[in-house]
Amino acid sequence: MLQFILRRIAISAVVLLLGSALMYFATINSGDPLQDLRETRAENRDQLIAARIENMNLDMPWWQRYLTWLGGASKCLVLQCDLGTSRDGANINTLLLSSAGASLRLVTLSVVLAIVIGVALGVLSAIRQYSGFDYAITFFAFLFFSLPVFWAAVLLKDFGAIRFNNWIADPALSTTAIAVVALVFALLVASVLGGDIRRQALTFLATAIVVFAAVFLFDQVGWWRQPALGLPLIVLGGLVALAFFLTLTVGLEQRRILYAGLATVATGVVAYFATGPLMQDPTWLRVIGLAALAAAVGAAIGWFFGGFEKRVAMVVCTGTALAFAFLVFMDQLLRNWNAFLQVAPRPISTIGDSRIPFERLEGNFYIFLYNWGVQLVLPTIVLTLISIAAYSRYTRASMLETINQDYIRTARSKGLSDRVVYSKHALRNALIPITTIVAFDFANLLGGAVITETVFGWKGLGDMFRTGLNFVDPGPVMAYYLVAGGAAVFMNMLADIAYAFLDPRIRR
């Protein structure tokens, strides 16, 4: 395995080297970097031209300039990058650090959400092949996959930012809008839960009534500007998380593990009151510490109540505890929404990757968190939807191919339940092709983020790449290539390691 990875690294290094030479040659021949200065009537025109020639080393032949850049970029192997300066004399290392931080924050979140949601939808779609849920997922997958990125970004910017900001000033929903939300949500829940026609009809009716009543109540009490989950919704969410983890592992029939999960939820209720003062204005260190404590308590409860299934009980209880802790955190975050609206009357800014400079922002931890992350919402949705479409289709195809294999039929003939067959046998093997898609998708999203960042005004890698290309400045373009190419190589290495983990035969 190590020899295989080293060989892949060597091949990838050669590909990166050849690609960098081609990128550099194409960039410097895309225009004249001195064109704007040749046309200016400034008195110091000659001095400006001389300064730019010095900054960009235009007095050297192109291959010598490329080798100079390559020598500086090779120092990144020892964490001492020297990527030169831009045409204006700005240090590209500094530009790259600020731009990469914004882009990677956006792309990483999009990839994680797309993997989790897309794989889950693909598995459910394969299990319920040719059902209404399968047809709906297939329709939306093809719809989102065919959407042009720029068009989807502009559309979401209009409805999700501009019109939302106007609506949030005095939020109110009409009865028709509430009914539409209830019907859509009920249709989604009924299709996911499945069952015969009678069961789906009852699920649809009950969900529609509950959602209509809840949204109507939220609208009447002004929940949109002063939201909160409250302990009842947190407990309900904890029970849903418990049912989810039980379904994935041992099922709802294992009473001992079920009781351990219920004990975890009860402990979470006690912790909700005990940690309330600590969560009023925490720090990231305190939040992470409390999350780790929740996981440790959940694992301890699972070990104590697990009996002969201690390992499974620890997984179920730890997952339930973390889900409960996340809901408690979200409750505190929502309670500070109105305070953030007072600081930033237009909360979702569509231009730039930050709303208010931190040095001029006053508020607690949650206000700063809103200010840091609120701009992530819309561009993340654009990139996530497009990736979800691909992940769901690939996962569905891989699952369908896997569940028709002989070893799956053997597992069923041995009396194993569908839950065990799908989660422990089929899913693990079906994920092997998906790891390749993940590796390439991360690099593709960096490319797609160029358009998304342009629409939403993010000063990330996309903006740096576009600016360098427009000004015929190879420095920023090559810095973008270094990050995108390096990310592609690194993600492919992770895919190779994931192959060995998912299928031990690959190690040999």
In the prediction, which pLDDT does 326 show? Answer: 96
Residues near 205 by beta carbon (within 8 Å), at least 6 away in sequence? 186
pTM for the structure as a whole: 0.79
Token digits for 364? 């607690």
H helix and E strand count, the chain:
22, 0
* Under 8 Å between Cβ of 37 and 52: yes
Residues near 333 by beta carbon (within 8 Å), at least 6 away in sequence? 366, 369, 370
Residues near 56 by beta carbon (within 8 Å), at least 6 away in sequence? 33, 65, 87, 473, 474, 475
Token digits for 408? 């799956």
* Under 8 Å between Cβ of 420 and 494: no
* Under 8 Å between Cβ of 309 and 254: yes
Structure-token match 């694992």, residue found? 299
Cα gap 182→415, rounded to integer Å: 40
Residues near 419 by beta carbon (within 8 Å), at least 6 away in sequence? 247, 248, 251
Q: Residue 299, CB half-sphere, CA atoms under 13 Å: how many?
A: 7
Cα gap 468→84, rounded to integer Å: 13
Residues near 318 by beta carbon (within 8 Å), at least 6 away in sequence? 295, 298, 299, 302
Token digits for 51? 């300064």
Cα gap 298→292, rounded to integer Å: 10
DSSP 85: B
* Under 8 Å between Cβ of 299 and 317: yes
Enumerate long-range contacts of 228-237, CB under 8 Å, 24 or more apart.
228/331, 228/334, 228/335, 229/327, 229/330, 229/331, 229/334, 230/331, 231/269, 231/272, 233/327, 234/268, 234/272, 234/324, 234/327, 234/328, 234/331, 235/265, 235/268, 235/269, 237/323, 237/324, 237/327
In 199-239, DSSP assigns E strands to none
Helix, strand, coil distribution of the chain in percent, nearest 5: 80, 0, 20
In the prediction, which pLDDT does 178 show? Answer: 94
82-93: b (≥16 Cβ within 10 Å) or e: ebbbbbeeeebb
Kindly give the interhelix angle for 474-502 and 2-28, rounded to the nearest 10 degrees.
160
Structure-token match 């001029």, residue found? 360
The candidate with the shortest Cα–Cα distance to 323, out of 237, 411, 236, 212, is: 237
Token digits for 92? 């590209």
Cα gap 300→291, rounded to integer Å: 14
The H or E element containing residue 73 is helix 62-74
Give pLDDT tens digits along the chain (508 positions): 667 677 777 887 888 889 889 999 998 888 888 887 877 777 788 888 888 888 888 888 888 989 988 888 888 877 788 888 888 878 888 888 888 877 877 888 888 888 889 988 888 888 888 877 888 888 888 888 888 888 888 888 888 878 888 888 888 899 999 999 999 999 888 877 777 788 888 989 999 999 999 999 999 988 998 899 989 999 999 999 998 888 777 777 778 889 999 999 999 999 999 998 999 889 999 999 999 999 999 999 999 887 777 888 999 999 999 999 999 999 999 999 988 888 766 666 666 655 565 556 677 899 888 888 888 888 888 888 888 888 888 899 989 988 888 888 888 888 877 777 887 778 878 887 787 777 777 767 766 567 777 788 777 888 888 888 888 888 899 988 888 888 777 777 777 777 666 666 665 5
The amino acid at 218:
F
278: left (phi over 0), alpha (psi -120 to 50) or beta: alpha
